[in-house]
Amino acid sequence: MKVILVNNSDIGGGGEKIVYTLWEELNKRNIKCTLAVGNKKSTKKIEDLSTYEENQVTQKLWKRIELVLNSTHIPITHNPRYLCLLKTLIIKPYYFPKKLQGIDIYDYPGFLSFLSQLQSKPDIIHLHNLHEEYFDLRLLPKLSLEFPVFLSIHDFWLITGYCASFFSCKEWRKGCENCSILSNVSRFFKDVSHKNFMKKKEIFLNSSIHLIYPSLWTKKLIERSILKPAIIDSKIIPHGVDTDIFIPGDKKIARDYLKLSQSTFILLMTAKGGFDNQKFDWGMLKKCLQIISEEMKNENILVLILGGLNRSEKIGKIMIHEIKYQTNYEMIVKYYQAADIYIHTSKDETFGMSILEAMSCGLPVVSTDSGAIPEIVEDKKTGTLIKNRDPVEMAKKIIFYLSNEELLWKMRSASRNRTLTYFSIQNMVDKHIQYYQEILKKRID
C-alpha cells in the first residue's frame, strides 16, 4: 500500500503532530508513506511542496524571511493572518490585493507538479489541513476521480468563508454572508466571505471524499455543512498520543530540571502563540486567576503558558508566564510532569491534543466543555468540565483540587488509564489502516 499524506506543515500545533506521527507509524508498519507539506520545517525526509512551485527565487526568499520572523518575540510576526499576507506579497505579489481583501487564493500548482513526478501512483491520498497558501482546492474533483481521497478534519476552514475556528459563530450555516472576523481584519474592503464560501461549495459538489472525523462533535457539525455532498463515507478516528513518550514522572525531578520552585502550585496550559491565540478565552482565564489570587492569599501559584513568546503578566499575586514554543518532546513532557493541574479555556475544539498529552502524563484537567473536549475528559473522574466558560466555577474547581491532594492523585491515575485505554497511537494507526484497507477492497470488488 502506498499512501501520500498532505498537510500544511510537519511541525506546529496539534494537527501537525498528528500527521507527522501517522507518517512515522505507517512507515514503521511497512506501509510506504510519503508526507508532503506546504511548509517544511524539519530535516526529515519529507517532501517540501514549495520546491515544486514555479518561482523558486521568491520561495527561497520567503523561507529566509520566515526564519528571521520566527526567531523574534514580536507578536505580529507570529500572527497567521499577517504571515499569510506577507507570504503572498513575497511569493505571488500580483495576488496580494486579493489576499488583503480576504479572498482565498488557490493558484498553488506545487502538489500537482509533485504528483506528476512520482515514479508510481499512490494507492491513497490522505489530505489534512489545506489552508496556509500551498494547496489548490480546485484539484479535489479531479483527484477524487483518480484516487481514493481521504480527508481528516483538524479545523473548520473548509466549511467557512474565511475562518479556521468560528468561535460559536453560526454564519457558516447560512453562507457566511456577514463575517464578523473578516470585517475586523479587512474593514476597508467589501466582505468576500460569501464568495469564498460559494467557491468551496461548488468544489465539494463535484468531489468524492472519504472523511475522517476526530470526534462525534466534529462529525455532527460537518454533516450540516457544505462539505456533506462530497462525503462518500466516513469514520470517527480519535487522535492518539504516544503513551511511551508522554508518561507520568517525578514532579520534584521535573521541577529541578526546569528550575521551578518545589513549593509553588503550577497550573499549565498550552497555546501556540500564547496570549495571541484567539482560540482561547483569555478574559475568562484572568477573571478565574483573580478569584484564585484573592481566595488563596497565602499560596504561591504560577501559571505557565507553553507555546508563547516569553511574555509575563501578573494577576493579583499570580504570575502568568509564557514559555517559548517547544519542539523537543522531552522538554514538553517535563513541563507536564512539573505541573499540578492542566487548564484549558478553549472557545471551540475539534479534538484537543494538548489535553490528551497532559492526561497521558497523569495530569488532571480543568477545562471548558467546548467542542469535543467532553469526549476526552471524563467529568469528575479525570478532571472537571466548566460549562458556559464560567470563570467563577473554574476558580472554585481549581481551588478545590489544589486543596485536596488525595483526590488529585486519584485523578492523575484515572487520566493516565483513560489515555492508555482509548487514545493510544496504536489504536489511532490501527483504525486508519483498517479504513484504508476497507476502501481499497471496495474499489477492487
Q: 393-438: per-residue pLDDT in tens? A: 999 999 999 999 999 999 999 999 999 999 999 999 999 999 999 9
126 vs 327 pLDDT, higher one: 126
Higher pLDDT, 100 or 239: 239
pLDDT score, position 187: 54
| Nearest-angstrom CA–CA distance, 332 and 132 | 26
Report the alpha-carbon distance of residue 281 to residue 145 in Å, rounded: 42
Secondary structure of residue 160 in the 3-state scheme? coil
Could you tell me the residue ranges of all domains in the chain?
A: 2-240+425-444, 251-422
Is residue 99 within a helix (H) or strand (E), and if so which, with residue range? helix 96-101
Q: Tens of pLDDT along 374-393?
A: 999 999 999 999 999 999 99
Comparing 2-240+425-444 with 251-422, is the CATH topology the same?
Answer: yes
Strands lying side by side in the sheet with 383-386: 312-315, 318-324, 301-308, 265-270, 341-344, 365-368, 383-386
pLDDT computed for residue 208 by the predictor = 97
**What mean pLDDT is reported for the chain?**
93
Question: Does the reported pTM lie above 0.85?
Answer: yes
Question: Does pLDDT of 48 surpass 80?
Answer: yes
> Is 356 within 8 Å of 253 (Cβ atoms)?
no
**How high is the pLDDT of residue 183?**
56
- CATH code given to domain 251-422: 3.40.50.2000
- Mean pLDDT to the nearest integer, 2-14: 93
Percentage of the chain beyond pLDDT 70 is 98
Query: Predicted confidence band at 341 (pLDDT cuts at 50, 70, 90)?
Result: very high
Q: What's the pLDDT score for residue 424?
A: 95
Which residues touch 212 (CB under 8 Å, ≥6 apart)? 150, 151, 152, 153, 234, 235, 236, 237, 432, 435
Indicate whether 23 pLDDT > 70: yes
User: Residue range 307-316: average pLDDT?
Assistant: 90
As beta bridge partners, residue 324 has 308
175: left (phi over 0), alpha (psi -120 to 50) or beta: left
| Residue pLDDT, tens place only, 161-187 | 988 887 778 889 989 987 777 655 555
Report d(CA 118, CA 415) in Å as an integer. Answer: 44
Query: What 3-state DSSP class applies to 346?
Result: strand
Q: Which element (helix H / strand E) includes 308?
A: strand 301-308
In this predicted structure, what is the pLDDT of residue 184?
58
Report the CATH number of the 2-240+425-444 domain.
Answer: 3.40.50.2000
* Residue that has been written with the C-alpha cell 479534538 in this structure: 351
Judge contact between 380 and 365, C-beta under 8 A. no
**pLDDT exceeding 90 applies to what percent of the chain?**
79
In 3D, which of 355, 361, 117 has the Cα closest to residue 215?
Answer: 355
The pLDDT of residue 123 is: 97
Q: Residues 180-210: pLDDT tens digits?
A: 776 555 556 678 899 999 999 999 999 999 9
pLDDT at 362 > cutoff 70: yes
- Count CB atoms within 10 A of the CB of residue 329: 13
d(CA 224, CA 267): 37
Residue 213: in which H helix or E strand, if any?
strand 209-213
**Distance between CA atoms of residues 401 and 34, nearest Å:** 45
Q: What is the pLDDT of residue 239?
A: 96
The reported pLDDT for the residue numbered 286 is 96
Instruction: Compute the average pLDDT of residues 139-164.
Output: 95
